[in-house]
Amino acid sequence: MNQERYVGMSVWVRVQHRFGPRLPEWMLATIAAGWGGVMLLPARTFDQPSYQGFRALFGSEEGLGALMLLVGLICIGGLIVNGARKRVTPWIRVSTAAVRFLVWIGLFAAHALGGIVGVWLVLYPVFAATELVNIYRAARDGGESNAVP
């Protein structure tokens, strides 16, 4: 029997056990995917004055929307795989949190280029700081899983 994966109900129990401590990762991955989904709606978001920096940095909102949706879904997939495996795969979590960290910094910069003050001044720095905590926690899990035979 494969010792690396749980099967049947064991998968659900393992995912539930690991879900709570990784809730910030799940939330920010969901926000990234949702953000991308909103950009893919037919409304012309980048036409708003507060999004002029987005046009300058990212070009098309469809391209950014597809990228954000993909990033969010890959992160969610990584969390599912990580939660379903007996032996943790924290490096998936480290790398996806690092990508999301860069995304939040990019969105902050794009809003800053727009020159219009908004809630983005609070949200994206907090998201980015939370990703740094996520990176630290996942890396710590990696160190612990490598130390245990």
The SS3 of residue 16 is: helix
Mean pLDDT rounded to a whole number for the chain: 84
Single pTM value for the model: 0.79
> Which one, of 28, 41, 42, 4, lies nearest residue 107 by Cα?
28
pLDDT reading at 45 higher than 60: yes
Q: What is the pLDDT of residues 68-119, one digit of tens each?
A: 999 999 999 888 887 766 666 788 889 999 999 999 999 999 999 988 999 9
- 18 pLDDT band (50/70/90 cuts)? low
Structural tokens at position 7: 């099967």
What pLDDT score was predicted for residue 148? Answer: 46
What one-character DSSP code corresponds to residue 85? B
β-bridge partners, 5: 85
As a dihedral over the C-alpha atoms of residue 146, residue 14, residue 130, residue 122, rounded to 10 degrees, the angle is 170
Highest mean pLDDT out of 18-22, 76-80, 127-131, 137-141:
127-131
